[in-house]
Amino acid sequence: MNVTVFGATGAIGRLTVAELLDRGHTVTAYVRNPQKVPESWAEGNVNVAIGEMSDAEAIDSAVAGAAAVVSTLGPSMDRKAVGTPLVPGTGYILASMKNHGVRRFVGHATPSILDPQESPTAINRLTGFLARTFLPRAYEELVGMSDQIKASGLDWTIVRFIRPTNKPKQPRVRSGFFGPDNLGFSVSRADIAAFTAAQVEDTAYVGRAPAISN
């Protein structure tokens, strides 16, 4: 199937594109800076769409023809950053999906965002407290993005993680929910990408926000 990926040139985004290609999908990669496009994409089944997250028309064009949408977008951790541009940008993505009849959406967040059926735990409270205290703008943006996704009525999944690392894929990846499941803090970006790509066709977590760790 064709999968449109937002945030495709980021650290996790590039790995996710590679995972999707390995699974036999074609990819439409939505990128802001064409200079960040890997040369290897010219050899594979990757169509590049250039645009800002404020460009509703470009986003709509990138979503047209997709069978699923993956967003590896996340708030900037730069304390000098201002505004919450990913909130309206996510709104444009969701509106375009509805416009073109695309149902499947897979995105990213942290445990500071609760799963709809999850009760707060010590880890949820800690990550939320740290985010609100030290990165309030980023936290506001993450909440704004996630609230729209949850209320979209689409077949969404939000993959949550705490501390991504640059390690290769690990022998064990745990997934589930804080409280009933035994989850840790760290997870490799390679495993995040693999899990994210798998959700495109896996319906086990539709309407849920599973957390993953190694």
Task: Give pLDDT, residue 76.
Answer: 86
Longest CA–CA span in the chain (Å) reads 46
Using only C-alpha atoms, what is the Rg of the chain? 16
Count of positions (residues) in the chain = 214
pLDDT tens by residue, 142-161: 999 999 999 999 999 999 99
Q: How confident is the model at residue 93 (pLDDT cuts 50, 70, 90)?
A: very high
Task: Give pLDDT, residue 50.
Answer: 96
Q: Are 108 and 12 in contact (CB under 8 A)?
A: yes
Q: Are 44 and 68 in contact (CB under 8 A)?
A: no
pLDDT tens by residue, 3-39: 999 999 999 999 999 999 999 999 999 999 999 999 9
> For the purposes of burial, counting CB atoms within 10 Å of the CB of 171, is it exposed (0-12), middle (13-18) or buried (19 or more)?
exposed
d(CA 76, CA 64): 27
Give the mean model confidence (pLDDT) for residues 125-146.
92
Task: Give pLDDT, residue 74.
Answer: 93
Q: How confident is the model at residue 1 (pLDDT cuts 50, 70, 90)?
A: very high
The structural domain count of the chain equals 1
Structural domain harbouring 68: 2-213
- CATH code, domain carrying 51: 3.40.50.720
Task: Give pLDDT, residue 37.
Answer: 94
Quick one: tokens of 19? 């995972």
**SS3 of residue 212 by DSSP:** strand
pTM here?
0.95
